[in-house]
Structure 1
Amino acid sequence: MQNLSPRHVRTEESLRLGVEAGWYSTKVSGTFVSGPHPTEAACRTRIDEIDPPPAKKKR
């Protein structure tokens, strides 16, 4: 299980990092895992595909 979160990279920062501006899924360390995505919702959808939330246990 990875702990991924969405992160928005603005144009100024994208030029410094050498990536496109947009939403990226990132690890806790700051490493980009996927992206750029056009919206935060699209990024969260991709995070759920890469690292699905834990299934609820049935009792």
Structure 2
Amino acid sequence: MQILSPRQVKTDEAVRLGVESGWYAIKVSGTFVSGPHESEADCRRKIDEIHPPLTKKR
């Protein structure tokens, strides 16, 4: 399973990378997986859709 985390790409960096500014779900390697999202909360929801949190078995 890959670990994804939210990352904000601001306007100056977005121009340099050739992407829209916003929040992106990224791999540890820095590869963009999903985005741009309007907010960090939206990005985290998408990360949870891609990889649902583990639930403990009883």
List per-residue Cα deviations over 1:2-36 (Å, max 9, x = no partner).
20000000000000000000000000000000000
Matched, 1:39 2:39: yes
1:55 maps to 55
Structure 2, unaligned runs of 5 or more: none
Structure 1, unaligned runs of 5 or more: none
Cα distance between partner residues in 1 of 2:45 and 2:23: 12
Cα distance between partner residues in 1 of 2:44 and 2:19: 19
CA RMSD of aligned residues (A): 0.5
Cα distance between partner residues in 2 of 1:36 and 1:15: 14
What code does the residue aligned with 1:4 have?
L
Matched, 1:8 2:23: no
TM-score (norm 2): 0.96
